[in-house]
Amino acid sequence: MTRPFLYEALPMRVRFGAGSLKSLPDEVRSLGLKRVLVLSTPFQKDLAREVSDQLGELSAGVHAEAEMHVPIESAHRAREVAKAAGADGYVAVGGGSTTGLGKAIALEFGAPIIAVPTTYAGSEMTPIWGLTEDGQKKTGRDPKVLPTSVIYDPELTLTLPVGMSVTSGFNAIAHAVEALYAPDASPIISLMAEEGTRALINALPPIVKDPADAEARSDALYGAWLCGATLGATTMSLHHKLCHALGGTLNLPHAETHTVVLPHALAFNQPAAPAAVAALSRALGGATDPAQRLWEIAGDLDAPRSLAELGMKEEDIDRIAEETTSRSYGNPRPITYDDVRGILHAAWAGKPPTANPAV
């Protein structure tokens, strides 16, 4: 019997397909926008300038200063630039850092965002914003930061480095995993989560073998879209709380942190989430232990598997455990400080995931 659920579709438009970036000027006009500020990281400044040139008189310029975890100082600068340029909308070209900066501006001014993802982050599909201030990452939900339109052009991911492609893909899979056992999960979201995981897991090995594999790149971006949509529609649990603490407090790299933590958080929750385990087993080709299988795949694809290699020190474990357990949130299995400390120690040391980690 299907249990009762609530499903609310997010109000946004998605345009998917190779070469779809060409539709950006039409997308801007369809929203009634006159001057949009193009956002990116410094690394993707050249692409942002190409997009600005494509927009012509519709562009209010380029602001290529997006940073990981959206420091509050970066948000203030971007808001000032947007105001000075008279921008009535924003085009976020890049990954989660750039989309996050667009959301930080929209949180203040409420203008529309058009997201043009070049990674598999998924932030473009959510009304979730995040800002880091004084070493703590604060997050929230607000409909006005949800991108109005998203243009998924797989051609823009062809130059995404292999290592970043893998960790970005695992970042997206993490959204789907937690959506499967979220307290507000629904049959529609669970279908999207399973399909998104399957698409990414099947696409990542071919991308590692041939980064220019257009079919695999398209499948990965499709999977990332579905996984991002599940993040926007459900409540995240232990995994995301751990990653927010690790990123905001220690400034660890976002996608890599998700990649390392995911198998450990999932292993801890698997005993309390049989339906999620069944869905992930199907998505992973029949794996009886999805957490262990994800850990093995990460190793096969040469992804990081320890927080130590990302720069975390062993003495940081207690600090992050305290922060992660300082507030209550939904999780399929009750959480204690010792549980989180054990999970963090296993992830720090690069040990195989286990349902009952102990230090």
Where do the domains of the chain lie? 13-157, 162-349
Kindly state the tokens that stand for 277: 């385990």
Asked which of 45-49, 114-118, 129-133, 280-284 is least confident by mean pLDDT, the reply is 129-133
Angle at 317 between CA 316 and CA 320, to 5 degrees: 85
**315 contact partners, CB below 8 Å, separation of at least 6:** none
The residue whose two tokens read 């009952």 is 356
CATH 3.40.50.1970 applies to domain 13-157: yes
Q: pLDDT digits over 220-254, tens only?
A: 999 999 999 999 899 999 999 999 999 989 999 99
Q: Residue 8: what pLDDT? A: 77
The mean pLDDT value for 178-194 works out to 95
Residue 268's contacts (CB-CB under 8 Å, 6 or more residues apart) are: 238, 333, 339, 343, 353, 355, 356, 357
Q: 13-157 with 162-349: one CATH topology?
A: no
Model confidence band, residue 144 (pLDDT cutoffs 50, 70, 90): very high
Does residue 207 contact residue 162 with C-beta atoms inside 8 Å? yes
Q: What are phi and psi of 331, to 5 degrees?
A: -155, 140
Q: How confident is the model at residue 316 (pLDDT cuts 50, 70, 90)?
A: very high
pLDDT of residue 10: 78
Section 44-53 average pLDDT: 97
- The residues, any chain, with a CB within 8 Å of residue 296's CB and separated by 6 or more, are none
Q: What is the pLDDT of residue 12?
A: 86
Give residue 328's pLDDT band: very low, low, confident or very high (50, 70, 90): confident
pLDDT of residue 232: 87
d(CA 333, CA 115): 35
Distance of CA 148 to the CA centre of its chain: 18
**pLDDT confidence bin for 1, thresholds 50/70/90:** low
- Quickly state the pLDDT bin for 2 (edges 50, 70, 90): confident
> How far is Cα 44 from Cα 48, in angstroms, rounded to an integer?
6
pLDDT in tens, 344-358: 999 999 999 999 887
Provide CATH code, domain 162-349: 1.20.1090.10
- 92 beta partners: 39, 115
Quote the pLDDT of residue 3. Answer: 75
Residue 263 CB-half CA count within 13 A: 28
Question: What mean pLDDT value characterizes the chain?
Answer: 95
In sequence order, the β-bridge partners of residue 80 are: none
Per-residue pLDDT, 358: 73
pLDDT confidence bin for 359, thresholds 50/70/90: low
- Residue 275 CB neighbours (<10 A): 13
- 27 — pLDDT class (breaks 50, 70, 90): very high
